[in-house]
C-alpha cells in the first residue's frame, strides 16, 4: 500500500490491542492520520508503535484512564478527526445460564464503556466537527440463541448511536455505525473459551436443555475463525467510515452481515426463527 501524505489530525481507536482495532489503527496510519491506539497493557502496544501510531493505556471501563486521555487530546493541539469505539468482548450463553456478573461485564465493555469514552470526547469533536464511529455488530440487528448478552449490548449501542447522531448533526458532528459479521479475530476465540467455562458450570437439567445448542454455537464460532473475513479487510471499511467526507449512517462488513441484516428487516419473526434454527441444526452433536 502506498502511504498517504501525513495529515495533522488525530483519530482515537479503542480496543486496538489485537484484531480489528489493531488493523484499523494501521490502516488509518497508512492513510496519513496520527492514531491514538487504546490498549490495556504496555506490552500490547509495542507491535503497534510507529511514527503515526501512539499506543495509549485505555481500559474503557476505567473512568480515570478515559479522563487522562481526554486531557491528552485537549493539550495535543491537533484536531480530533474521529473516535472509533471498537473495544469489545463476546460473552455467549443462554439467558438462564449466564451469571449476572457476566451480563454486567458484557454491558460495561460493549455499551457503557463506549458511552463514557464518547461523552469525554464530544467537546473535542465539536471543535473539529469530527466523527463518532460505533463498532456494533450483525448481533446488533439480529439476536441468535446464546447471544442474549452480546446482542443486548449491541442493540443498546445501536439505539444510543441513532439518538446521538440526531443530537449532534446540527452541531457538525457525524455518527456512523459499523456492523461486522464474521471476522477472524481473537475476540471470537476468547468468546468460545468463556462459553466453555459457563457450560462447565451448568446443572444437569441445564445441560439437557442447552448442551447441544452450546456445542452448535461453539462449532459455529470455530467456523467464523476459519471462514470469516480478515481483520485487515474490516479495517478498510472502518477507516473509510471514519474519514470519508459524506459517510453513510451504517456500514456492514462481510456478506453474512449484508444478507442477514436485510433478512431481519423483511422476514416475519417466526420465519426468521426457522431460518436461524435451520442454519444451526447441522452443527448439533449427533445422537448416539
Average pLDDT, 10 consecutive residues per value, the chain (288 residues): 74 96 97 97 93 97 97 96 96 93 96 98 98 97 95 98 98 98 77 79 93 91 84 96 97 93 94 94 83
Residue tagged active-site, from 150, 155, 210, 251: 150
pLDDT score of 224:
78
pLDDT score of 37:
98
pLDDT score of 100:
95
Closest CA to 117 of 261, 229, 239, 14: 14
SS3 183: strand
Contact (CB, 8 A) for 126 and 172: yes
Q: Residue holding cell 464460532?
A: 221
**Residues in contact with 155: Cβ distance below 8 Å, sequence separation at least 6, in sequence order:** 140, 141, 143
* pTM of the predicted model as reported, rounded to 2 decimal places: 0.93
pLDDT score of 157:
98
pLDDT score of 186:
73
pLDDT score of 185:
76
**Fold type of domain 10-283:** Rossmann fold (3.40.50)
Half-sphere exposure of 132 (CA within 13 A, CB side): 31
Helices (H) and strands (E) in the chain, counts: 11, 9
Neighbours of 149 (CB within 10 A): 22
pLDDT score of 1:
47
At 245, list the grid cell: 467526507
Return d(Cα 135, Cα 114) in angstroms, integer.
9
SS3 63: helix
Half-sphere exposure of 215 (CA within 13 A, CB side): 13
Would residue 150 show up in a list of annotated catalytic residues for this protein? Answer: yes
Amino acid at each position: 500500500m502506498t502511504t498517504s501524505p501525513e495529515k495533522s489530525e488525530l483519530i482515537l481507536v479503542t480496543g486496538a490491542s489485537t484484531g480489528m482495532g489493531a488493523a484499523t489503527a494501521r490502516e488509518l496510519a497508512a492513510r496519513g492520520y496520527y492514531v491514538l491506539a487504546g490498549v490495556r497493557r504496555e506490552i500490547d502496544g509495542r507491535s503497534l508503535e510507529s511514527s503515526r501510531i501512539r499506543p495509549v493505556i485505555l481500559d474503557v471501563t476505567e473512568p480515570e484512564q478515559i479522563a487522562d486521555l481526554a486531557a491528552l487530546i485537549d493539550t495535543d493541539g491537533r484536531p480530533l478527526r474521529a473516535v472509533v469505539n471498537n473495544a469489545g468482548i463476546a460473552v455467549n450463553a443462554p439467558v438462564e445460564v449466564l451469571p449476572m456478573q457476566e451480563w454486567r461485564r458484557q454491558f460495561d465493555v460493549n455499551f457503557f464503556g463506549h458511552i463514557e469514552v464518547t461523552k469525554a470526547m464530544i467537546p473535542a469533536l465539536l471543535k473539529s466537527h469530527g466523527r463518532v464511529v460505533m463498532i456494533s455488530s450483525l448481533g446488533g440487528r439480529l439476536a441468535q440463541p446464546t447471544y442474549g448478552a452480546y446482542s443486548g449490548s449491541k442493540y443498546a449501542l445501536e439505539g444510543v448511536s441513532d439518538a446521538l447522531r440526531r443530537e449532534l448533526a446540527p452541531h457538525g458532528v457525524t455518527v456512523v455505525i459499523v456492523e461486522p459479521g464474521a471476522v477472524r479475530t481473537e475476540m471470537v476465540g476468547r468468546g468460545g473459551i468463556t462459553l466453555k467455562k459457563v457450560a462447565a458450570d451448568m446443572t444437569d437439567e441445564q445441560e439437557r436443555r442447552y448442551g447441544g445448542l452450546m456445542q452448535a454455537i461453539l462449532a459455529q464460532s470455530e467456523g467464523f475463525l476459519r471462514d470469516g473475513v480478515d481483520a485487515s479487510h474490516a479495517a478498510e471499511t472502518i477507516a473509510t467510515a471514519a474519514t470519508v467526507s459524506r459517510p453513510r449512517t451504517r456500514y456492514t462488513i462481510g456478506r453474512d452481515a449484508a444478507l442477514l441484516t436485510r433478512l431481519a428487516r423483511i422476514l416475519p419473526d417466526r420465519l426468521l426463527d426457522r431460518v436461524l434454527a435451520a442454519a444451526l441444526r447441522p452443527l448439533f452433536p449427533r445422537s448416539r
